[in-house]
């Protein structure tokens, strides 16, 4: 099955056996009748498993070319489940430029529990080997990174990981499986904030994991059930519905993203534009190799280079909305230093280039002319 068919049919029964409904029913129930203790039809309690969530989990596995999908109450709940695979003393190498909430979870919770994190630039795979020792267990890769749009070579990370017997986990939130399939490039685990492009309509908070290996799936399923950070059936239904148009939406996100990136690049009130489709992007060739497009996320800094100029821009936009999050049909603008990445200390932010004059755009699927006109008027 090709990707554009998998988004609609992957992992699904084509009709529900009860009444032939084309969409899986929303099984809004906590529990399931047993005829005798243990005598049930595959589901016993909705934390352990729910048919609507199971339909979504099969869809996630299918679109990512994995064997097992797991859905959680948020992207961070999914990351939290991954980190519970480790013990005090274990070490993890993470991209040094990543979503602020992931950084907060790593440093604010799991570091206190004894897991050691090394935040390293992963622009060149060779640079990470110096951080690997006998305690190292996993490489955590976010690509493209949030908000700097750096690209990390997943295959190169896999080659290093294989040598040292490490897991490779990829946060595929920005790219989605439409643009990038990390498991095919050697990753062991893919993570999503399904809140973003997978849901696609800014109406659900959810996270997902996809793996190929059964043993790893079993461990993660144990954690999912034991810790209990699952999503509900209604939200599972909404994300399942979102996935059905993922390919169409992503195509338009990519087209509009490119238009916006090129417009900003030529604008006198703009300094730097971060978008992996530019030939002079430091890892443009890797993006071309491992992605099927460059996505709808674009970050830029103002020519004035001040906090005030960034604030003035985000206060003037009309079609774009100033808000956290990304990946919905509507265009959003964010100010990473004070919003999504405020939990990263200022000096750490500065090291990766998240300056006060930076704005991050999640380019939606509206008419491109309206988006460009809005940016034009807001830049003044």
Given 27, 58, 97, 99, the catalytic residue: 99
Name the one range near ligand P1T by CB under 6 A: 25-33, 73-81, 152-160, 216-224. 73-81
Cβ within 8 Å of residue 125, ≥6 positions away: 153, 156, 157, 159, 160
Check residue 207 for interaction with ligand P1T (CB under 6 A): yes
Given a contact cutoff of 8 angstroms between Cβ atoms, the answer to whether 94 and 106 are in contact is: yes
Q: Which is nearer to ligand P1T, 51 or 75 (CB)?
A: 75
58 carries an active-site annotation: no
Which of 193, 224, 256, 290 touches ligand P1T (CB under 6 A)? 193
CB of 362 to ligand P1T, least distance (A): 8
Query: Which residues 133-192 are close enough to bind ligand P1T by CB under 6 A?
Result: 142, 146, 171, 173
134 carries an active-site annotation: no
Q: Pick from 151, 148, 100, 99: which is nearest to 125 by CA? A: 151
Burial of 21 (0-12, 13-18, 19+ CB in 10 A): exposed
137 carries an active-site annotation: no
Given a contact cutoff of 8 angstroms between Cβ atoms, the answer to whether 244 and 105 are in contact is: no
Which of 248, 325, 348, 372 touches ligand P1T (CB under 6 A)? 325
Which of 101, 177, 233, 276 touches ligand P1T (CB under 6 A)? 101
47 carries an active-site annotation: yes
305 φ/ψ sector (left φ>0, alpha ψ -120 to 50, else beta): left
Residue 150's H or E segment, with its range, is none
CB of 269 to ligand P1T, least distance (A): 24
Cis peptide before 144 (omega within 30 of 0): yes
CB of 262 to ligand P1T, least distance (A): 23
Strand 91-95 vs strand 116-120: parallel, antiparallel, or unpaired?
parallel
Binding site for ligand P1T (CB under 6 A): 74-76, 99, 101-102, 142, 146, 171, 173, 193, 195, 205, 207, 324-326, 334, 340
The residues assigned a catalytic role are 47, 99, 171, 196
């Amino acid at each position: 099955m090709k990707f554009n068919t998998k988004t609609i049919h992957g992992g699904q029964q084509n009709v529900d056996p009860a009444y032939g409904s084309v969409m899986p029913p929303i099984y809004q129930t906590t529990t399931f009748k047993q005829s005798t203790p243990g005598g049930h039809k595959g589901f016993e309690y909705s934390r352990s498993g729910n048919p609507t969530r199971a339909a979504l989990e099969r869809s996630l596995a299918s679109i990512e070319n994995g064997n097992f999908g797991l859905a959680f109450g948020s992207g961070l709940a999914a990351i939290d489940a991954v980190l519970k695979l480790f013990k005090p003393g274990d070490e993890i190498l993470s991209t040094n430029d990543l979503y602020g909430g992931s950084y907060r979870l790593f440093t604010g919770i799991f570091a206190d529990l004894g897991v050691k994190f090394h935040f390293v630039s992963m622009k060149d795979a060779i640079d990470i080997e110096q951080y690997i020792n006998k305690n190292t267990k996993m490489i955590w890769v976010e690509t493209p990174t949030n908000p700097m749009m750096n690209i990390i070579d997943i295959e190169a990370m896999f080659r290093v990981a294989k040598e040292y017997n490490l897991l490779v986990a990829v946060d595929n939130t920005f790219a989605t499986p439409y643009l990038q399939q990390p498991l095919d490039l050697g990753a062991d685990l893919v993570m999503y904030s399904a809140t973003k492009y997978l849901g696609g309509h800014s109406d659900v908070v959810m996270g997902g994991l996809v793996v190929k290996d059964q043993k790893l799936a079993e461990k993660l399923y144990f954690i999912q059930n034991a810790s209990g950070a699952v999503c509900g059936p209604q939200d599972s239904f909404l994300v399942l519905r979102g996935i059905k148009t993922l390919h169409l939406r992503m195509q338009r996100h990519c087209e509009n993203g490119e238009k916006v990136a090129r417009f900003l690049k030529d604008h006198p009130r703009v300094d730097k534009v971060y978008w992996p489709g530019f030939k002079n992007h430091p890892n443009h060739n890797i993006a071309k190799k491992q992605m099927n497009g460059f996505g709808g996320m674009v970050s830029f800094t103002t020519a004035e280079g001040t906090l005030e100029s960034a604030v003035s821009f985000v206060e003037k936009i009309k079609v774009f909305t100033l808000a956290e999050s990304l990946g919905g049909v509507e265009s959003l603008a964010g100010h990473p230093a004070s919003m999504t990445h405020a939990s990263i200390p200022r000096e750490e932010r500065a090291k990766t280039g998240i300056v006060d004059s930076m704005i991050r755009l999640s380019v939606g699927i509206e008419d491109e002319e309206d988006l460009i006109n809005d940016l034009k008027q807001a830049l003044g």
